[in-house]
Every structure is written in structure tokens, then in C-alpha cells.
Amino acid sequence: MTNLEANLRSVTSKGSNNILRKQGMVPAVLYGGEEKNELISVSKKHLKMLLDEENFLSNVLKIKIENKEINVLPREVSFDVVTDEPIHVDFLRMVSGRKIVLEIPVKFINNEQSPGLKRGGVLNIVRRKVELKCPTEGIPKELVVDLEGLDIGSSVKISAINLPDNVSPTITGRDFVIATVAAPTVVKEPEKPAEETAEGAEAGAEGETPKEGEQAAASDDAKKPEGDKDKKEAAPEKK
């Protein structure tokens, strides 16, 4: 479990919160259980490191405030619209014996052992997270889906996932789908009909033009008068 240091704060004005942010702290509130809400602040640097980790909003943290430690769950993080820096966090106290509704991420394993994916199939993920009702002392980090042996057309439903004790989906009454292995989609260009190909060949043959030299020779012959040719052939003999 990850530890997070926190300090108590008593002033709640906008100006005091801005001063905390300039000092590298993020205002936060701790609520839930039978105790009153507590105003705290946490290190922005440490908070950003936790935000970079997967599933921040479903991981239980241990907050240290002065001389006490409290198990909490991050419930909401507010970000600056311009800088995208965290500016406020809500933490929920974990009370033993109670249940909480959370979205738990789904993790897929053994992709290389799926015959359908080996043959070019596509993993179609329907739900990347599943909303579950969990006891505060038994929150799963993730739901594992084993793809080994799945062929094209197969599907994985919530009933195929081994849920921890006292953990149940909030959707009841139906065995909903988590993912499917779909057939690959290949777009093939249509072939031209044989008639169009034959017509194109005939049109090319009919439209053939004479070569450049042949065309020039034919043009010269057409321009010569018929008498010139006869005169050359009937030239008088020299005496």
C-alpha cells in the first residue's frame, strides 16, 4: 500500500488555497465514516507521481496525518483548465465492513495463446472497466481475462472472470460481454467484368494510328502530281 504524507489546514479561503499551491501543496478533503470531514493538503510532487500510475482512483492509499494513519481511496481529482495541474483532491476513508462501488480495470493476458488472434483476428474490447460493488477491505486492483484458447467468434463474459469473495458487478440479471475475438476485415477491390476488358481491347485495335514515318510518306505521295512520276520514267536517252 502506498503512503502519502498530509498536513492539516484550517483556512479554507480561495486566497489561502492559492498560497498552498504556490508552496507546492494541493488542498484536499478527507471524508466518510463517522468522523467529521478533515481539511488537509498533500505534496503536489508526490501526488503527480501517484497520478502517473495506473488505476489511481481504485487504489487504496495510506495517508499519514501527524501521528495517525488512515486508509483512504481517492474519489475525485480537480485539474486546472489551463495548466492541467492537480488543484484539489477528495479522499474517502475506508470503513471496515462497508461496501463501495468502483470501476475496476480489465487486463487481458495470453494474447499469443489465442488461435483466433494468431489467424489475424481482432480483440474487440467492449468494456475496459467493470463497475463492481466491493468490500472496503477487499478491493481488487484489476480483473484478469485469459485469452488462451479463444478462437474467432468467441466472447468473454463476466461469468468467465473469477471475482473475489463478496465482490459482485452492479449490473445484474444478465451475463454481459467483456470482449470478443472478431474476424479480420479485409476490403477487396472488385474485379472488372470480362466484357469490359474485351471491349477495351477492340477499341484499342480500331483506333490504332499509323507510325510517324508512314504517315509522312503517305502525305508526300498524295501531294505529288501524277505527271511528275511519268516524266522521270520517260527521260530521253543521251546521244
CATH of the domain at 137: 2.170.120.20
Q: pLDDT band for 82, please (50, 70, 90 cuts).
A: very high
Residues 74 and 105 in one domain: no
Residues 161 and 85 in one domain: no
Q: What is the mean pLDDT of residues 151-178?
A: 94
Res 192: pLDDT: 62
Residues 10 and 85 in one domain: yes
Residues 87 and 170 in one domain: no
The verdict on residue 219 lying in a domain is no
Residues 28 and 65 in one domain: yes
Residues 89 and 107 in one domain: no
Provide the domain limits for residue 77.
2-93
Out of 93, 117, 139, a domain closes at 93
**Of 222 and 77, more confident:** 77
Least confident of 11-20, 82-91, 194-203: 194-203
Q: pLDDT band for 42, please (50, 70, 90 cuts).
A: very high
The verdict on residue 59 lying in a domain is yes
Q: Could you give the CA distance from residue 203 to residue 194 in angstroms, rounded to a whole number?
A: 14
Residues 176/129, Cβ–Cβ less than 8 Å: no
Residues 114 and 86 in one domain: no
Q: What is the mean pLDDT of residues 204-220?
A: 51
Res 188: pLDDT: 47
**Tens digit of each residue's pLDDT (9 = 90 or more) over 182-210:** 998 764 455 666 655 555 555 555 555 55
Q: What's the mean per-residue pLDDT of the chain? A: 83
Q: Which has the closest alpha carbon to 144: 172, 104, 181?
A: 104
Res 233: pLDDT: 46
Residues 75 and 104 in one domain: no
Q: Which has the closest alpha carbon to 143: 105, 114, 112?
A: 105
Out of 69, 93, 117, a domain closes at 93
Residues 49 and 122 in one domain: no
> Please, which residues bridge with residue 31 across strands?
92
Residues 155 and 120 in one domain: yes
Out of 139, 157, 182, a domain closes at 182
The verdict on residue 205 lying in a domain is no
The verdict on residue 50 lying in a domain is yes
Number of domains in the chain: 2
In the three-class reduction of DSSP (H, G, I as helix; E, B as strand; rest coil), residue 140 is classed as coil
The DSSP element (H or E) to which 203 belongs, if any, is: helix 194-206
Residues 15 and 79 in one domain: yes
Residues 19/40, Cβ–Cβ less than 8 Å: no
Is the predicted pLDDT of residue 158 greater than 50, yes or no? yes
**Tens digit of each residue's pLDDT (9 = 90 or more) over 93-152:** 998 888 999 999 999 999 999 999 999 999 999 999 999 999 988 899 899 999 999 999
Q: What is the mean pLDDT of residues 15-25?
A: 92
**What one-character DSSP code corresponds to residue 159?**
G
